[in-house]
């Protein structure tokens, strides 16, 4: 089935560690890729998105993601995490011509001070 | 308003009762979406509105679920004869343009529905 996969369900890091969260999708054709974040007690908000151009996308709060078309991947990275990055992170895809977001299962990140 | 608002924030109901969930999108946003977030199924798309029409209802899980949007603004998601498996957080989102696939969707805080 066509889907979005996030392989890490739970990640625990110490402050200042580097972060990489994996995201793979299985759709053919043109896709648009998103990372959303849900901080504790808050609603989903957009971190970054890619739909064309430079495959390395920079988002808010120092996050970036790289689209690698040959690997069907859109991994999220941050060089040095902070305690305030503790949240759940969702990768999502829309297919060209379709409006619905298809989400991965999410990755819970806990950053210990 | 400043963001997408949803009401109620929490709803507890008994199995078999009907419930209505409301979404107020960001002013001027033409596209509106409903999703639900549950432990077993993650985040799932339910329905998409462009103006008052719903060109994509493919995510509605059964005919007990329906939604409408009036005046190109407020939307109501109705669940009839609720079942325990309907327990979830129901999320509404809106986007500013024509609902294109590259649009950023802005999410509300959700309605947590518990069916006893």
Closest CA to B64 of B55, B45, B77, B49: B77
Q: What is the C-alpha separation between B23 and B90, in angstroms, rounded?
A: 10
pLDDT, one tens digit per residue, over B42-81 is 899 999 999 999 989 999 999 999 999 999 899 999 999 9
The alpha-carbon gap from B101 to the nearest alpha carbon of chain A, in Å, equals 5
pLDDT, one tens digit per residue, over B102-112 is 889 999 999 99
Q: What is the C-alpha separation between A20 and B42, in angstroms, rounded?
A: 21
Q: Report the CATH fold assignment for B16-99.
A: Immunoglobulin-like (2.60.40)
Q: What is the C-alpha separation between A37 and A90, in angstroms, rounded?
A: 6
pLDDT at A43 over 90: yes
Q: What percent of chain A has pLDDT over 90?
A: 85
Q: Please state the φ and ψ torsions of residue A61, each to the nearest 5 degrees.
A: 60, 30
Residue in B closest to A94 by C-alpha? B101
Chain A residues inside the 8 Å CB shell of B109: 42-43
Under the banding of pLDDT at 50, 70 and 90, the label for residue A53 is: very high
Tokens of A14: 């110490």
Q: Is some CB atom of chain B closer than 8 A to the CB atom of A97?
A: yes
Lowest mean pLDDT among A7-16, B19-28, B98-107: B98-107
List, in order of start, the domains of chain A with CATH numbers: 4-94 (2.60.40.10)
**Residue numbers of B between 63 and 102 with CB closer than 8 Å to A:** 91, 93, 95, 99-102
């Amino acid at each position: 089935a066509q889907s979005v996969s996030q392989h890490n369900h739970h990640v625990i890091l110490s402050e200042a560690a580097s972060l990489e969260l994996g995201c793979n999708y299985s759709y053919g054709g043109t896709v648009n890729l998103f990372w959303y974040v849900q901080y504790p007690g808050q609603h989903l908000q957009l971190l970054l998105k890619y739909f064309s151009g430079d495959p390395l996308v920079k988002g808010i709060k120092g996050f970036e993601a790289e689209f690698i078309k040959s690997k069907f991947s859109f991994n999220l990275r941050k060089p040095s995490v902070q305690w305030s990055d503790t949240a759940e992170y969702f990768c999502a895809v829309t297919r060209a011509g379709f409006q619905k977001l298809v989400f991965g299962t999410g990755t819970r990140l806990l950053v210990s001070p | 308003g400043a963001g997408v608002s949803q009401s109620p924030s929490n709803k507890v109901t008994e199995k078999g009762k009907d419930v209505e969930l409301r979404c107020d999108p960001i002013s001027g946003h033409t596209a509106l979406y409903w999703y639900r977030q549950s432990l077993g199924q993650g985040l799932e798309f339910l329905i998409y509105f462009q103006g008052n029409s719903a060109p994509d209802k493919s995510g509605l899980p059964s005919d007990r679920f329906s939604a409408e949007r009036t005046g190109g603004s407020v939307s109501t998601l109705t669940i009839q004869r609720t079942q325990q498996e309907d327990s979830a957080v129901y999320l509404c989102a809106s986007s500013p343009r024509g609902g294109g696939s590259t649009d950023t969707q802005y999410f509300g805080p959700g309605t947590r529905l518990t069916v006893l």
